[in-house]
């Protein structure tokens, strides 16, 4: 059942190249320059006329929502708010019939997300679901949706659900960007081609496993860790920290790298491992200067970098490479080493990787 792997989590991490392919199969027609998604086509006016998109989710799915906020705003130029479903539902939020709500849920059963959907519907919003489990409650309660098609995710720590959610949301943003005329045909085509290359690049990122295991062994006894990223990779920092917390029980925090100097930098000393996503895109130079700040305070730096990077390699204690891609798709690659790292640390610490204490795969009570 675990396909030769020691744990479901490891199996599911390695399934990601195929899971992402399954997600875009039949939807992404890169050569023709078409994205086919019936749930969007059938409701295109709702999306194009939306004042804004409100994304509701919990946990890892909320992190996928944060990545989507960057891509929807950056590429499709649609305003997006990302809300914890549990906060949204009790906040007396302002919702109108010009709002589109996207609910993201692997299980499709999360109580708070379901309640947020009901509230949004009662106020006239159009609700679109991004679920993995076919026929789940959230899939049924939403007005339309798109499945992630990741296959069953058994490990409590979400892995392939996250990357396939980002894949679906990227397809949606690209499709809407094209329909709105927010991006040129050539940029649209370029994005489709790059997305099609992602599964092979994820495979390549997975090949760093042996090196990641060595890094895991060095830092497995840390009591605190920081994860930093900017832009599209800020949510990846949050997700990396969550993965470490939930399966290894090591305290970890994710921050936007620039927030360091507003407090967390006080934590840095020679005991503190800092995982920094420093791919050669977007805010690269700024991340490099954040790394310098950590280094001058003697923090240990483990950087996720683009293949061939030299500048960060010269500063960091360890680097883990991922292949190059366009900025909006980097989260699909930078997440991989952080998943593997958490996995190996949890195994080395003898934790119950697939069923961490106090956690359940679907949270059907609030
Ligand atoms: C983290 C994790 C949880 C879930 C959260 C939402 O690894 O598994 O944080 O992401 O409970 O669950 P879904 O996506 O099923 O609504």
Nearest CA-CA partner of 120 in 147, 102, 144: 102
* Shortest-distance atom of ligand 1 to CA 60: 10
Instruction: Determine the distance separating the centroid of ligand 1 and the alpha carbon of 106, expressed in angstroms.
Output: 7
How far, in Å, from the CA of 58 to the mean position of ligand 1? 6
The structure's pTM equals: 0.98
**Can you tell me the mean pLDDT for 106-119?**
97
pLDDT at 365 over 90: no
Cβ–Cβ under 8 Å, residues 235 and 331: yes
Q: How far is the CA of 247 from the centre of ligand 1 (A)?
A: 13
How remote is the CA of residue 61 from the centroid of ligand 1, in Å? 6
Average pLDDT over residues 186-194: 97
Choose the residue to mutate in 60, 84, 142 for probing ligand 1, maximizing ligand atoms within 8 Å of C-beta.
60
Is ligand 1 within 6 A of the CB of residue 107? yes
Question: Tens of pLDDT along 1-49?
Answer: 899 999 999 999 999 999 999 999 999 999 999 999 999 999 999 999 9
pLDDT at 364: 87
> Residues 211-249: pLDDT tens digits?
999 999 999 999 999 999 999 999 999 999 999 999 999
Measured distance between the N- and C-terminal CA atoms of the chain, rounded to whole angstroms: 31
Question: Residue 73 pLDDT more than 90?
Answer: yes
* Strand, coil or helix: 22: helix
Mutate to test the pocket of ligand 1, among 56, 109, 110 (most ligand atoms within 8 A of CB): 110
361 is catalytic: yes
User: In this prediction, does ipTM exceed 0.90?
Assistant: yes
- Rounded to 10 degrees, the C-alpha dihedral 284/59/343/204 comes to -50
- Write the pLDDT tens digit of every residue in 305-323: 999 999 999 999 999 999 9
Is residue 248 in contact with ligand 1, taking CB distance under 6 Å? no
CA distances from 107 to 165, 245, 281 (A): 12, 21, 33
> Does 110 sit in the ligand 1 pocket, CB within 6 Å?
yes
């Amino acid at each position: 059942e675990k396909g030769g792997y020691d744990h479901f989590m490891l199996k599911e991490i390695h399934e990601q190249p195929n899971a992402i392919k399954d997600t875009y199969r039949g939807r992404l027609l890169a050569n023709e320059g078409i994205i086919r998604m019936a749930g969007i086509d059938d409701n295109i006016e709702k999306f194009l006329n939306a004042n804004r998109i409100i994304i509701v989710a919990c946990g890892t799915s909320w992190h996928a929502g944060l990545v989507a906020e960057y891509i929807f705003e950056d590429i499709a130029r649609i305003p997006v708010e990302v809300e914890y479903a549990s906060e949204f539902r009790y906040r007396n939020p302002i919702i109108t019939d010009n709002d589109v709500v996207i609910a993201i849920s692997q299980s499709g059963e999360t109580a708070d997300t379901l309640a947020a959907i009901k509230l949004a519907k009662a106020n006239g919003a159009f609700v679109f679901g991004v679920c993995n489990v076919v026929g789940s409650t959230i899939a049924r309660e939403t007005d339309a949706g798109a499945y992630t098609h990741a296959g069953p995710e058994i490990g409590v720590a979400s892995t392939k659900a996250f990357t396939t959610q980002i894949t679906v949301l990227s397809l949606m943003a690209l499709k809407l960007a094209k329909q709105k005329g927010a991006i040129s045909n050539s940029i649209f085509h370029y994005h489709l081609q790059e997305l099609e290359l992602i599964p092979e690049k994820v495979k390549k990122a997975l090949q760093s496993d042996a090196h990641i295991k060595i890094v895991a062994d060095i830092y497995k006894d840390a009591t605190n860790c920081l994860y930093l990223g900017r832009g599209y990779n800020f949510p990846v920092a949050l997700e990396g920290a969550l993965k470490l917390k939930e399966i290894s029980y090591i305290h970890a925090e994710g921050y936007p790298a620039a927030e360091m100097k507003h407090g967390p930098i006080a934590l840095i000393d020679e005991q503190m491992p800092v995982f920094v996503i420093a791919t050669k895109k977007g805010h690269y130079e700024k991340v490099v200067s954040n790394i310098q700040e950590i280094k001058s305070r003697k923090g240990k730096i483990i950087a996720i970098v683009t293949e061939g990077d030299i500048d960060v390699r010269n500063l960091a204690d360890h680097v883990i490479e991922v292949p190059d891609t366009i900025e909006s798709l980097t989260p699909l690659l930078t997440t991989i080493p952080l998943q593997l790292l958490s996995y190996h640390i949890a195994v080395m610490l003898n934790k119950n990787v697939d069923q961490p204490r106090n956690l359940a795969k679907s949270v059907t009570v609030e």
